[in-house]
């Protein structure tokens, strides 16, 4: 192999190594998420049990109950861990977070149109204020 060919092969090799390492990261699911396999993907996040999306910052109320009972038990499903008047099973079935009192079945969240409209109004107000 010529020196020029070796130099071209190094970036390709680095790319292959990097991509092969990402496959494990993208596909990673902790063992304790297995009991939730039948629920909506919206709840299969670190914030199902943790305060922060990174998994740090401690456990939220549902995470504490889950840790205490050590399984997805009927008792855990009947609890209302976040005290929002919806049982954990109602929230999981609805795709909302049973450890977050601001996330509950039926709550309307602003869609793209609402967020876009609000952003546009704020931008117009900022432009008007500069005049």
Domain count, the chain: 1
Domain assignment present for 124 = yes
Tokens of 66: 């889950």
Burial bucket for residue 60 (CB in 10 Å: 0-12, 13-18, 19+): buried
Q: Which residues contact 39 (CB under 8 A, 6 or more apart)?
A: 92, 93, 95
- For residue 78, the model assigns a pLDDT of 97
- Select from 85, 115, 84 the least CA-distant residue to 101: 84
Range of the domain at 43: 32-130
Question: What's the mean pLDDT in 33-52?
Answer: 90
**pLDDT tens digit sequence for 85-116:** 999 999 999 999 999 999 999 876 555 565 66
Domain assignment present for 105 = yes
Among 72-76, 98-102, 125-129, the minimum mean pLDDT is found in 125-129
The conformation of residue 99, written as its DSSP 8-state character, comes to T
Domain assignment present for 73 = yes
Task: Tell me the C-alpha distance between 52 and 41, whole Å.
Answer: 17
Confidence category of residue 77, pLDDT binned at 50, 70, 90? very high
Q: Is the model's pLDDT at 12 over the cut of 60?
A: yes
- CB 62, CB 48: distance < 8 Å: yes
- For residue 60, the model assigns a pLDDT of 96
Domain assignment present for 117 = yes
CB-CB neighbours of 19 under 10 Å: 9
Domain assignment present for 110 = yes
Question: What's the mean pLDDT in 65-88?
Answer: 95
Task: Tell me the C-alpha distance between 102 and 104, whole Å.
Answer: 6
Distance of CA 120 to the CA centre of its chain: 27
Q: Is the model's pLDDT at 72 over the cut of 60?
A: yes
Domain assignment present for 101 = yes
- For residue 68, the model assigns a pLDDT of 95
Confidence category of residue 2, pLDDT binned at 50, 70, 90? low
Instruction: Please name every residue paired with 50 in a beta bridge, in sequence order, or none if there are none.
Output: 59
């Amino acid at each position: 192999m010529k020196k020029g060919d070796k130099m071209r092969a190094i970036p390709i090799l680095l790319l292959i190594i990097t991509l092969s390492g990402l496959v494990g990261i993208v596909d990673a699911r902790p063992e304790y998420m297995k009991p939730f396999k039948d629920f909506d993907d919206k709840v299969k996040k670190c914030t199902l049990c943790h305060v922060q999306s990174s998994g740090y910052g401690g456990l939220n109320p549902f995470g504490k109950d889950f840790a205490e009972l050590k399984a997805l038990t009927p008792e855990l499903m009947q609890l209302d861990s976040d005290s929002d008047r919806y049982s954990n099973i109602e929230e999981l079935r609805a795709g909302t977070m049973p450890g977050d009192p601001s996330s509950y079945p039926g709550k309307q969240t602003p869609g793209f149109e609402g967020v876009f409209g609000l952003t546009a109004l704020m931008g117009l107000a900022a432009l008007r204020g500069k005049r």
